[in-house]
């Protein structure tokens, strides 16, 4: 049977990020669904669009009221809806790995394969503990975004990044951290669609959804390493792989590689689609 690929975006992103990948997958005969996680797809406020910074800083955010369960429920509902068409391959990028891992803990019988693309997959620690580890020390992401933070996430209960407020030097630092192979003009198209608000998942026990050996651990899984990633360095990706393999040594990650930055692969959809195309055969043959 032909599987359905369910795509889950990363932080500061939306379903729009997968558009080129979905077109490429469709040309290869695949069925896909890209999710907007909670708080996504609603557009931007006037204050953010016009860079009225005083008003923008004071605006409330729906992200302050969202929980990890809200994100997990969105993924679970999507899988349940498409499962009646056949096998399901759940694909996560970056932050999207957190709700995907939690969903896999909840409904392992409905998922035929998980694909992590430089995505978070907490096993031994709470998700918010990983960025403090030495493997993260070479990441350029936090230093590139720090000047653009609006307010104090620990006090306001959400993260707000003024992507559009970056000057040329700050945009260049962001580009190198997130998608260094893009030109400045190409990166501007990333900035213009980046979502300013995000949940503050670095703290709080409600986000502590680690991979469970008896549920998540029985699903076939692939990890696509992004070898040029300066946001989630390869050492971090390798840590997630190693912890997952140690948890379920009889069901290790199938590891693939793309010579890509953290988000550059979105601009070269044929390479990712080629890997997913190969995995679709396995998912269809192994449908439970």
| pLDDT band at 121; cut points 50, 70, 90 | very high
Contacts of 18 (CB under 8 A, 6+ apart): 7, 9, 32, 34, 266
d(CA 95, CA 188): 22
Check whether 91 has a pLDDT greater than 60. Answer: yes
Check whether 190 has a pLDDT greater than 90. Answer: no
Q: Interior CA angle at 102 toward 106 and 91, to 5°? A: 105
Q: What is the DSSP string of the chain?
A: -PPEEEEE--TT--GGGGHHHHHHHHHTT-EEEEE--TT-SS---HHHHHT-HHHHHH---GGGG--HHHHHHHHHHHHHHHGGGS-EEEEEEGGGHHHHHHHHHH-GGG-SEEEEES----SSS-GGGGGGSGGGTT--HHHHHGGGB-S-HHHHSEEEB-GGG--HHHHHHHHHHHHTTS-HHHHHHHHHH--SEEE-TTS-GGG--PPPTTTGGGS-EEEEEETT-SSS-HHHHHHHHHHHHHH-TTS--EEEEE---TTGGGG-HHHHHHHHHHHHHHHHHT--
Model pLDDT for residues 58-74, shown as the tens digit of each residue: 999 999 999 999 999 99
Region 233-256: mean pLDDT is 98
Check whether 285 has a pLDDT greater than 60. Answer: no
| pLDDT band at 127; cut points 50, 70, 90 | very high
Percentage with pLDDT > 70 across the chain? 97
- For the stretch 79-85, contacts whose Cβ atoms lie closer than 8 Å and that sit 24 or more positions apart, written own/partner, are 79/6, 79/103, 79/107, 79/110, 79/111, 80/107, 80/110, 82/4, 82/6, 82/31, 82/33, 83/110, 85/4, 85/31
Supply the pLDDT for residue 2. 86
Supply the pLDDT for residue 192. 86
Supply the pLDDT for residue 237. 98
CB 174 within 8 A of CB 191: yes
Supply the pLDDT for residue 43. 74
* Cα dihedral across residues 212, 1, 95, 135: positive or negative: positive
Check whether 273 has a pLDDT greater than 60. Answer: yes
CATH number at residue 154: 3.40.50.1820
CB 181 within 8 A of CB 266: no
Count: domains in the chain:
1
Region 80-96: mean pLDDT is 96
Supply the pLDDT for residue 189. 86
User: In terms of residues, how long is the chain?
Assistant: 288
Instruction: Report CA 264 to chain centroid distance, whole Å.
Output: 13
Range of the domain at 217: 4-285
Residue 4 phi, psi (nearest 5): -105, 130
Check whether 140 has a pLDDT greater than 70. Answer: yes
Q: Kindly report the average pLDDT of the chain as a whole number.
A: 93
Supply the pLDDT for residue 284. 55
How far separated are the first and last CA of the chain, in Å rounded?
11
Model pLDDT for residues 12-50, shown as the tens digit of each residue: 999 999 999 999 999 999 999 999 999 987 678 999 999
Model pLDDT for residues 147-160, shown as the tens digit of each residue: 999 999 989 999 99
| pLDDT band at 283; cut points 50, 70, 90 | low
Check whether 202 has a pLDDT greater than 70. Answer: yes
Supply the pLDDT for residue 286. 52
Supply the pLDDT for residue 201. 86
């Amino acid at each position: 049977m032909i599987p359905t690929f369910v795509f889950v975006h990363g932080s500061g992103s939306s379903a729009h990020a997968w558009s080129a990948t979905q077109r490429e997958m469709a040309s290869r005969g695949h069925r896909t669904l890209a999710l907007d996680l909670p708080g996504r797809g609603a557009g931007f406020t006037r204050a953010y669009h016009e860079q009225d910074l005083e008003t923008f800083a004071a605006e409330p955010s729906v992200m302050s009221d969202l929980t990890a369960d809200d994100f997990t429920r969105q993924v679970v509902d999507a899988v349940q809806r498409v499962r009646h068409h056949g096998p399901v391959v759940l694909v996560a990028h970056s932050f999207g790995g957190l709700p995907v891992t939690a969903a896999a803990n909840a409904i392992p019988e409905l998922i035929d394969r998980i694909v992590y693309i430089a995505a978070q997959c907490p096993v031994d620690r709470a998700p918010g503990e990983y960025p403090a580890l030495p493997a993260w020390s070479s990441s350029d992401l936090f230093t590139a975004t720090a000047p653009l933070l609006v307010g104090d996430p620990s006090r306001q209960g959400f993260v707000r990044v003024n992507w559009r407020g970056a000057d040329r030097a700050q945009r260049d630092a962001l580009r190198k951290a997130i998608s260094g192979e893009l030109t400045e003009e190409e990166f501007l198209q990333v900035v213009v669609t980046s979502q300013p608000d995000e949940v503050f998942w670095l703290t709080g026990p409600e986000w502590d959804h680690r991979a469970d050996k008896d549920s998540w651990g029985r699903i076939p899984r692939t990890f696509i390493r992004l070898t040029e990633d300066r946001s989630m360095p390869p050492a971090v990706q390798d840590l997630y792989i190693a912890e997952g393999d140690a948890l379920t040594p009889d069901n290790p990650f199938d590891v693939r590689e793309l010579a890509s930055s953290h988000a550059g692969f979105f601009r070269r959809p044929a390479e990712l689609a080629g890997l997913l195309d190969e995995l679709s055969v396995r998912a269809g043959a192994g449908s439970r």
